[in-house]
Structure formats: C-alpha cells, structure tokens
Amino acid sequence: MAEVTTLQFNRSVIGVEVHGEPQEITREQIRAYCEAVGETNPLYTDEEAAAQGPFGGLIAPPNLFTLLPTPQPPDPEVEFGNVSIGGGKRCLYYAPIRPGDVITPSSAIVEVYEKTGRSGRMVFIVRRTSYVNQQGEQVAAAEQVTIRRNVESTEDHIG
C-alpha cells in the first residue's frame, strides 16, 4: 500500500491580498496594444466610431489589463514537487476599461489542493489577481494555476 502524506504548506497566506500600484490607462497604451496584436475593432481604435457604439466612447481591448504589472502574493511554501508547470490562466471581464481609468491590481493565493492523476500526485496553486478602477469597480480578474510535481531526472535513467 502506498504511503499517504499530508500536503504541507503555509495555510496562513491563503486569501492574503497584496495591492499593486495604481496605473493609468492611456489612449497611447490602447493604440500601441492594438497595433501590436493587429486589433482593428473600431471600439478600440476609432474615437468617432466608438462614440456611436454601445459604450459611448473608446474602450480598451479586454486583455489589455494582462500587461499591467501585478503584485506577488505571499508564497504558500508548498513542500512538494521539484518541478513547477503552468496549469493555465482564466480571464474574467466585468466592465470596460476606458482611457483615463486608473487600475489597481491586487493578488492573492486563493487555493492550494492536490490531486492524483495517471502520472501521479500533483499539487495545484491558484493565484487570483483582481483589477479595480478608480471608482472601486472590479473591471477584470485573472486566475492562474501552477502545478507542482515530482519528476525524476533523466540522468537517473541513464546507464
């Protein structure tokens, strides 16, 4: 029978939010982002057309917030795994971001859990970053998962 071990990590950091610096979104940032990714939607690129659109003016493309520097939440100090793997990112959009908005990010580790799959035991660390505008309205959020695993070195199999 396999040995069962309890997942060890610093539970006191779960949910502890770290706030980043407020950052103003400019027309220039929106224009540069659109040029970089080939975005041509007039809601993001044409002031006159955007004024006639559903938001009454220019807005930022939804993923522009992902370029903002974000604070690093406290490390949960997971005592498992010798390899970290990106487990995906999910973006949530709540309200448009407009030129002149001041966006403040805040990050926290919201969950640490383990699963056993075909390849063995894995630990999942979920980080959530929320983005709030100058009115205190949440405009977006991103959840990023890191997977920790034990992987044998290929050197162990040589020889």
Calculate the average pLDDT of the chain.
93
The CATH number, out of the four listed (2.60.40.10, 3.90.1150.10, 3.30.420.480, 3.10.129.10), of the domain defined by the range 11-23+69-157? 3.10.129.10
Map out the domains of the chain as residue ranges. 11-23+69-157
What pLDDT score does 157 carry?
46
pTM to 2 decimal places: 0.87
What pLDDT score does 142 carry?
98
Nearest Cα to Cα of residue 45 among 34, 57, 56: 34
Higher-scoring residue by pLDDT: 6, 45: 45
Q: Is 12 exposed, middle or buried (0-12, 13-18, 19+ CB in 10 A)?
A: exposed
Higher-scoring residue by pLDDT: 117, 113: 113
Q: How far apart are CA 60 and CA 31, in angstroms?
A: 9
